[in-house]
Amino acid sequence: MTVRPMLVLSAAVLAASSVVGYAGVCSHDVDRMQARVDAKLEALAAAGPVARESAGALMHRQPTPGSIAAAEKNLGEISSPTVEAVRAAMARAREADRVGDEAACREALSDVQRAIGP
């Protein structure tokens, strides 16, 4: 390959990679809020009830989504309206960020903040 085609190909790859890496109007805030939500969930999980390992877990079998849901239900850890509200608001924030609607993104992040508390 000669220098000219290589230069054109390199410029095209560079241009395409910069489009993929574009951060939205509130991407940083969405990422920070996701970290706060994850930390809150981690703290709630650590403070919650525990259960014994199943026989399958002792045989190095990976849990299925159904077995995890059943175990959580047995512990009383079923999905609450707050969890669903946070999930929906974070989805709205990501979508607003994707389309560049900063006001909608900030509103959705405020909804998350109200749902998870201080």
On whether residue 37 sits in a domain, the answer given is yes
Q: What is the pLDDT of residues 76-104, one digit of tens each?
A: 654 577 778 888 999 999 999 999 999 99
Nearest to 68 by CA among 77, 59, 60: 77
Per-residue pLDDT of the chain (118 residues; tens, 9 = 90+): 555 555 445 555 555 554 445 567 899 999 999 999 888 878 877 777 777 777 777 787 787 877 777 776 676 654 577 778 888 999 999 999 999 999 999 999 999 999 888 7
| Domains contained in the chain, number | 1
On whether residue 82 sits in a domain, the answer given is yes
On whether residue 102 sits in a domain, the answer given is yes
On whether residue 77 sits in a domain, the answer given is yes
